[in-house]
Structure 1
Amino acid sequence: MKKFWINTAFLGLTLLGSCNEDSLEGNDFEMEKTADEDTYFLIADQQNNEAHLINYAGDELFNWDFNSNLGNDINMLSDGSMLVCLKDNNASITYGGYGGIFRKINADQSIEWEVSYSSSDYTAHHDVEYLSNGNIIFPAWGEISQTEAAEEGFGGSYNLNPESIIELNPLTQEIVWEWHAMDHIIQDLDETKANYGSIAENPNKIDVNYNYQTRNNGDIMHINGLTLDEKNNLLYLTVNNYSEIWVLDHSTSTAEASTNSGGNYGLGGDLVYRFGNPETYDNIGKSTLNNVHYPNLLKSGNMLAYANSVYGNQSEVVEYELNPPYNLVAGQDNEPNVVWSFTDNDLYSSGLSSAVRMKNGNTLIAEGRDGTLWEVTDGGDTDWFYKTNYATIWRAYVFYANDPAITALGF
């Protein structure tokens, strides 16, 4: 039996938003845990611009040194290669999480390709997904002057950096699909503009002025994660400054994505669904997110999300029951069922962070700004608690010895 140094033995039941009053502080002791020797954890280490593959004991089994500033996301693919976001030293938009460069590193550490999506007008940021067709998809910030933003009914007195989603062929560097948030906004401040209307009566539109008075820069939305459900052709986006998850119809053409018609849902690029914070569109229903990271779509069809500040200085991992096809109805509670959640007084990260479901049914949580890993059971017990040597963790992923990616790395 392997032994691990951790900081707690038990955390009480924390289902469906209940809070645990136990504390981890001052409880250093040794707890025995029967661990799966073939379980590995892939960690994006922002402080050192590296990725680490470790086991339960914290032993490093494999290391990637990117020799560049880590933009945020890493993906280990089935052939053992690594897709990573890196920071462009000349990026024009440099909010937290900016990147601009994508690199694919082979299992032997040679570079297969590197592409840039960064200029004086736009910068890729935060997340990237490698699709089955070989394309990559990622969010990007753009730039709109204060004058241009005012013409769109924006009430802020600063330049605007709205979001886009870009799907790119990395071999040809051709953009094959794109979506722009500014094509789908509504506002109720300036009735002289064409996009003036009732927020509550247009749930598929984005209120460009939501929370604008609390901000002092143009990063009003801050998309920090995306996941494409290729089976249903739906794209999920975690939108941190709106504290919700947006769902787009990826079946549209780029032309349709700029309108409100076309695609499987007939809505073009308008939101087909949204959840987590119905206040963003003046709707009813309970808010379950306050800042959010990583829309992790599970094999069951449910989704895990890390709610960074749902209890103030306390985070929560939430599992939603999702049932596409979706329908947004004005004035109706459109929120999905929360089927599981976990929180604790000592679980808190104001940014970053992730949650993934393990094959043993437990959930691995990366407490991003504390560099801590939690493994919790379905019943809310803490099976494992490990403070890493890494100050900040973007996300942590789970791999097993029989995964093709692990085999490709040579052990």
Structure 2
Amino acid sequence: MLMKKLWMNTTILGLLIFSACNEEVEEVMNEELEETTDTETLFLVADQQNNAAHIITYDGEELFNWDFNSALGNDINLLSDGSLLVCLKADNAAITYGGYGGVFRKINADQSVAWEISYSTEDYTAHHDVEYLSNGNIIFPVWQELSQAEAAEEGFGGNYRLNPESIIEMNPITQEIVWEWHAMDHIIQDEDPSKSNYGSVADNPNKIDINYNYRTRDNGDIMHINGLTLDEENDLLYLTVNNYSEVWVLDHSTTTEEAKTNSGGNYGLGGDLVYRFGNPETYDNIGDATLSNVHYPNLLETGNMLVYANSVYGNQSEVVEYDLNPPYSLVAGQNNEPDVVWTFTDNDLYSSGISSAVRMDNGNTLITEGREGTLWEVTDVGEIEWLYKTNYSTIWRTYVFYKDDPAISALGL
């Protein structure tokens, strides 16, 4: 795919997009966009501002729209038959931190509803992300409710209730839970020796320090998983954990019973962390931190992973690509961090939350600057080929599709 996207044109285009204030400027902007349009590449945008999703072209033309008539709970998945799996906000949700959901709806290509399920009560709420697996199941993160007294019994040092993370895999037709994992089964703490989970954080890299950041927080959302990706070939589940500024890796080959323990599964670790990276400070380890807040663990076909690091440079974001090489090991006192093989940042790239990065077929990377509603296309050498301020002020993620994709054909586009 070749497009007329010279640096000079991009700079002019960026200025026009961000400062357009009269018809003459808008006319010039549209002329620039016409020069850069590729009719084969389409973008699926999760539009949080309008509780909708859109398929748009390079020039912003909306080719297909979904209006959910409910508040968008973040993620959307366009499936090969043209159906859309979407997270929506539950009316009765008891846990309502940013990114909460609680309802999953599958919408057919003709916009009829195939099914809708709720996973939200006073004790738990699904949130942020959902993945549709090849076996027809869905998998998603869940906040659970622990009272202050219950949290204290687990050695938690904060004086407030706790909302730790769980992962649920469900058959959406029968609503049977077929696999689950709970962070509270795998914690360590070094503050209260009277508790059974007391121990050395540094000596237990596969455990989660429940007290890592409670002194800097004032609510129970201490972990804040905001994205998940299942590598079905290796049966490994990747989680972006925003408030720990790292990626956790779980062994999905375990049974639910094994996932409660530290044995069983392909790695023999049960539900303990198989691997983690991005912020070795979380387990008192050596190595350089490469993440500060993080969204979307995007596993590439190469086996590498792209993530959106929200605040690596203060008010400046960065996209980071890691070279991942399972099987993994975590060794106390050893640098366990993977190699960083590519990054992109810019003085004007910043979103304090949400956002994503996707590798395109042409080798470029599409970046969604979520809280600015801006899309960036950058080359492997960091040149900005396209910069577009959309009509949507808040975008959860943007996914790339092509005209020959079965999902696009199923929608009649």
Q: TM-score, normalised by structure 1?
A: 0.94
In the alignment, structure 1 residue 199 sits paired with structure 2 residue 201: yes
Distance 1:328 1:393 in 2: 35
Which amino acid letter does the alignment assign opposite residue 135 of structure 1? N
Contact 1:6 1:386 in 2 (8 A): no
1:8 deviates by 6.6
Identity across aligned pairs (percent)? Answer: 77
Aligned-partner SS, 1:399: strand
Which amino acid letter does the alignment assign opposite residue 347 of structure 1? L
In the alignment, structure 1 residue 60 sits paired with structure 2 residue 62: yes
1:37 deviates by 1.1
1:60 deviates by 0.4
What does 1:2-41 correspond to in 2, within 5 Å?
9=10, 31=32, 33-41=35-43
Could you list the per-position Cα deviations for residues 249-275 of structure 1 after superposition, in whole angstroms to 9, with x for gaps in the alignment? Answer: 000000000000000000000000000
Distance 1:61 1:5 in 2: 27
Contact 1:4 1:57 in 2 (8 A): no
Which amino acid letter does the alignment assign opposite residue 10 of structure 2? A
Aligned-partner SS, 2:372: coil
Contact 2:158 2:214 in 1 (8 A): yes
Aligned-partner SS, 1:160: coil
What does 1:91-110 correspond to in 2, within 5 Å?
91-110=93-112
Number of matched pairs? 400
Could you list the per-position Cα deviations for residues 110-155 of structure 1 after superposition, in whole angstroms to 9, with x for gaps in the alignment? Answer: 0000011101100000000000000000000001111111111000
Out of 298, 311, 314, the position equivalent to 2:313 is 311
CA spacing shift, 1:7–1:226, aligned 2, 3 Å: farther
* Cα RMSD, aligned residues only: 2.0
Which amino acid letter does the alignment assign opposite residue 168 of structure 1? M
Which amino acid letter does the alignment assign opposite residue 176 of structure 2? E
Distance 1:273 1:238 in 2: 12
What does 1:183-194 correspond to in 2, within 5 Å?
183-194=185-196
Aligned-partner SS, 2:401: strand
| Higher RCO, Cα 8 Å, sep 6+ | 1
Contact 2:3 2:38 in 1 (8 A): no
Aligned-partner SS, 2:371: coil
What does 1:148-159 correspond to in 2, within 5 Å?
148-159=150-161
CA spacing shift, 1:69–1:253, aligned 2, 3 Å: same
Out of 248, 262, 265, the position equivalent to 2:264 is 262
Which amino acid letter does the alignment assign opposite residue 299 of structure 1? E
Q: Which runs of 5+ in 2 are unaligned?
A: none
Distance 1:205 1:222 in 2: 17
Larger helix percent: 2
Contact 2:52 2:66 in 1 (8 A): yes
1:333 deviates by 0.4
Could you list the per-position Cα deviations for residues 299-340 of structure 1 after superposition, in whole angstroms to 9, with x for gaps in the alignment? Answer: 000000000000000000000000000000000000000000
Distance 2:69 2:5 in 1: 32
Contact 1:4 1:56 in 2 (8 A): no
Contact 1:101 1:117 in 2 (8 A): yes
> Corresponding residue for 1:75?
77
Which amino acid letter does the alignment assign opposite residue 180 of structure 1? H
What does 1:113-192 correspond to in 2, within 5 Å?
113-192=115-194
CA spacing shift, 1:128–1:8, aligned 2, 3 Å: farther
Could you list the per-position Cα deviations for residues 184-222 of structure 1 after superposition, in whole angstroms to 9, with x for gaps in the alignment? Answer: 000000011110000000000000000110000000000
Aligned-partner SS, 2:149: helix
Which amino acid letter does the alignment assign opposite residue 192 of structure 2? D
Aligned-partner SS, 2:150: helix
Distance 1:296 1:43 in 2: 16
Q: Which runs of 5+ in 1 are unaligned?
A: 12-21
Which amino acid letter does the alignment assign opposite residue 125 of structure 2? T
Distance 1:151 1:171 in 2: 37
Distance 2:354 2:140 in 1: 17
1:9 deviates by 2.7
Distance 2:335 2:297 in 1: 21
CA spacing shift, 1:233–1:92, aligned 2, 3 Å: same
Distance 2:119 2:255 in 1: 21
Aligned-partner SS, 2:285: coil
Contact 2:76 2:86 in 1 (8 A): yes
Distance 1:328 1:342 in 2: 27
Distance 2:357 2:53 in 1: 17
Out of 203, 209, 212, the position equivalent to 1:210 is 212
Q: TM-score, normalised by structure 2?
A: 0.94
